[in-house]
């Protein structure tokens, strides 16, 4: 079974409670996201490898302010799900209008990006 088949199977057969309970039984506690983290559309179900991105406040404008964001977007591989963090800052945003709607499970799993 290749990764995409595995991710498709996960989307069809697993749900949050089963994954959380399994991780707990394996000794991996505190591995689920907070309850206030939700998809933009509740019908979305995705599975894949996490591509984590941290967005931080800056206090000066770099020469190329979008270079690191573009580098992060360009580094996403098929099968990766982008998990972005802003540390709850209200002074920075993660990509703004750079993202398009993520594909449904089975459609490539990685996020789709605009140019």
Q: For residue 58, which of 90, 87, 92 has the smallest C-alpha distance? A: 92
Amino acid 100: pLDDT:
52
Amino acid 106: pLDDT:
40
Q: With 0-12 CB in 10 A as exposed, 13-18 as middle and 19+ as buried, what is 80? A: middle
Amino acid 109: pLDDT:
39
Model confidence pLDDT, tens digit, residues 44-99 = 888 888 888 888 888 888 898 888 888 888 888 888 888 888 888 888 777 665 55
Q: Of residues 113 and 94, which shows the higher confidence score?
A: 94
Amino acid 21: pLDDT:
93
Cα torsion through 32, 37, 43, 49, rounded to 10: -50
33: its two tokens: 């996201």
pTM check: above 0.85? no
Sorting pLDDT into bands at 50, 70 and 90, what band is 38? confident
Model confidence pLDDT, tens digit, residues 101-112 = 444 444 443 443
Amino acid 97: pLDDT:
57
Residues 11/47, Cβ–Cβ less than 8 Å = yes
């Amino acid at each position: 079974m290749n990764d995409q088949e595995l991710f498709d199977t996960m989307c069809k057969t697993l749900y949050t409670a089963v994954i959380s309970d399994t991780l707990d039984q394996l000794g991996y506690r505190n591995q689920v996201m907070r309850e206030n983290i939700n998809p933009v559309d509740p019908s979305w179900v995705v599975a894949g490898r996490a591509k984590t991105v941290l967005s931080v406040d800056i206090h000066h404008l770099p020469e190329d302010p979008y270079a690191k964001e573009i580098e992060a977007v360009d580094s996403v591989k098929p099968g990766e799900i982008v998990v972005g963090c802003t540390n709850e800052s209200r002074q920075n945003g993660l990509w703004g209008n750079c993202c398009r709607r993520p594909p449904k499970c089975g459609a490539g799993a990685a996020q789709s990006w605009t140019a």
